[in-house]
Structure 1
């Protein structure tokens, strides 16, 4: 279990969160002279990615805008599994998502001339993080979203100072409009695939986990795979500092994302498959070097995990946010580790639910419990009808966000050519 008797531990909040201050001889990597590190990535001109990600993580400017997120013990899950389950609460970030880390680190490292031109995104998943980071850095921002985007989401984005442009009835249409505006106004698209600063920003999660746990105690860290930048970043740091900790990727069944491809042994075969699936090869190479195992889960398992997390935290997450917990439960069960007393960390990545979606996801979680109970009794497959709850990022690069119960708001428009450029 995570011990609390060590003299070099200190509490950082009242919710079972621990902050570990490494001793001089605990981890020799902490002896790095940070003053000698430069935030400029070193990249060689050949296929192997030699970016010094550890350097970029250690010099990331994430904590200019966010503090370390809590590492809370999930008492209910711990009792259910007979293990010590800790939740890395990225859902408590501004914007309710881990994404702010990478996006802020990307924007703050832009040249000032580029930053003042403005940033743009068509990713619904990243919209809040882009808006928040842009506001903190006084950078103009445009968010292009489909016309069915909820009024509450639009209100949040405009409150943060972004110009919201609604276009088309699909994410593809919104993306095309975003590309047009990007070219027209010479804007910077955020995030860009495989961006080193985004990966490094996400890597600070791994850094905090190491600081908040006792060396040698954590058995594994569970993290959604999605587009790969989150698990690549935290995995790179964990494997450099504490390589004995397993990094377990979690993905939905039947996904066409990175998870099916990162274990390919042939580099050329891997890259060919990634290109065919529009996945950035560099991100997949980083993932393949740090992920120890992959667990696929059903939507039923994810929905049940949202209920488990709520009962431990009183926070209702969307399905992407609960994915790591679902994977952790499945992996512990499949490995026969229930009752082992081992220590596990799961990343609760986000809580991006609109109020109108809450009753729907609660209902679906109840149906999922019934379905899983029937499945266990009869041996039949999942009883959840296909498509009742889904995750769909739409742009292929951002992690998915739950698309449920959204209301149309086609009448809302914002002048993209006016006020933004006069501010």
Structure 2
């Protein structure tokens, strides 16, 4: 994938997504000793960055073939984005969700006119249920992360960050299957080649050993994590996203416990007045922890990607 793919995605989706704001905090700058910027994708349409990849993938498919409908599997945010993108493109949609998905996310998907099919909360169950929908209804699959069009769509976020923040040294973004971080890396480095991109993850994902070894060290079959950051439960990076991140991302990975994630989420609500979901708090947790010292002192200007704000208000983690 190249930066030109990101530019094509910008042309496809720019009328349907918003340029989300970047905010700063004097308090955070004093706590960290750095200049910290927060990219507020929690304010994006559908409540997360996911609309970028879903919409780019769907428009790309429409350009090349006739579609009878689309389907996907998701822990919530991608499903919300695909349902909304299908509504914009006047396409039938069916979303496969783990039966543990928060009810408000289910309602949000249905509000776009999509059908919901539930499955067991495992990667294999999601894949099998979605394949059944594809076969029975002749629908086209929109992957959550592991597809070049999805990655290119997320890459528009990296480009946007670099255009909004002058002289940026580094970006910290949460990672699950890697679609967001791979896209941000290509989009950001297409503007400034030496900008650093760091991954932030929940405990148990164990990405750093694989990045340092240059090979996939995760156990098979693929596992799902148990984490308060329910949007980051995919343990392995994808087959498409892995080579991009192996080549372009920094080898240091910030791994946060549930306690650190909850504390950072609460800090963001209270001090920054921003409603973010647990997944978006992982990068905040990284800069508030002593792990920030793993980034060289010369790296002063850092952007934290607040990936989403879809929160179950009836079940807050604190």
Contact kept? 2:99, 2:121, Cα under 8 Å: yes
Unaligned runs of 5+ in 2: 223-235
Is 1:332 matched up with 2:289? no
For 1:246 and 1:272, the matched residues in 2 are separated by 23
- Distance across 1 between alignment mates of 2:275 and 2:303: 18
Change in 2 beyond 3 A, CA 1:75/1:341? farther
The answer on 1:353 being equivalent to 2:303 is: no
2:182 counterpart residue number: 232
Which residue is equivalent to 1:144?
Answer: 96
* Mapped contact 1:225–1:259 kept (Cα < 8 A): no
Number of aligned residue pairs: 300
Tell me the equivalent position of 2:33: 82
Q: CA deviation at 1:114?
A: 4.7
Determine whether 1:289 maps to 2:241.
no
With normalisation by structure 2, the TM-score equals 0.85
- Asked whether the equivalents of residues 252 and 299 of structure 1 are also in contact (C-alpha less than 8 Å), the reply is yes
Q: Within 2, Cα distance between the matches of 1:313 and 1:152?
A: 24
Is 1:59 paired with 2:59? no
Q: Is the 8 A contact 1:145 1:164 kept in 2?
A: yes
User: Whole-Å Cα distance in 1 between the matches of residues 288 and 169 of structure 2?
Assistant: 14
Matches within 5 A, 1:179-328: 179-191=131-143, 194-214=146-166, 217-256=167-206, 258-265=207-214, 270=215, 277=222, 279-292=237-250, 293-328=252-287
* Cross-structure match for 2:115: 163
Q: Deviations over 1:196-225 (max 9, x none)?
A: 1111111111111111122xx322110112
Name which of 149, 154, 178 aligns with 2:106: 154
Aligned match of 1:131: 83
Superposition CA RMSD, Å: 2.6
Larger Rg: 1
317 and 241 in structure 1: CA distance in 2 versus 1, 3 angstrom threshold: same
**1:239-276 deviations in Å (ceiling 9; x for gaps):** 232123221111223215x44312324xxxx2586876
Per-residue CA deviations over 1:96-139 (Å, capped at 9, x if unaligned) read 11111111110111035856311112212311111111111111
SS across alignment from 1:223 = strand
State the distance in 2 between where 1:147 and 1:302 align.
Answer: 24
SS of equivalent to 1:142: strand
Partners of 1:74 and 1:313 within 8 A in 2: yes
The residue that corresponds to 1:416 in the other structure is none
Q: Which of 71, 85, 104 pairs up with 2:55?
A: 104
CA apart distance, 1:284: 0.9
Q: Distance in 2 between matches of 1:180 and 1:170?
A: 16
Q: Indicate if the aligned counterparts of 1:307 and 1:316 stay in contact, CA closer than 8 A.
A: no
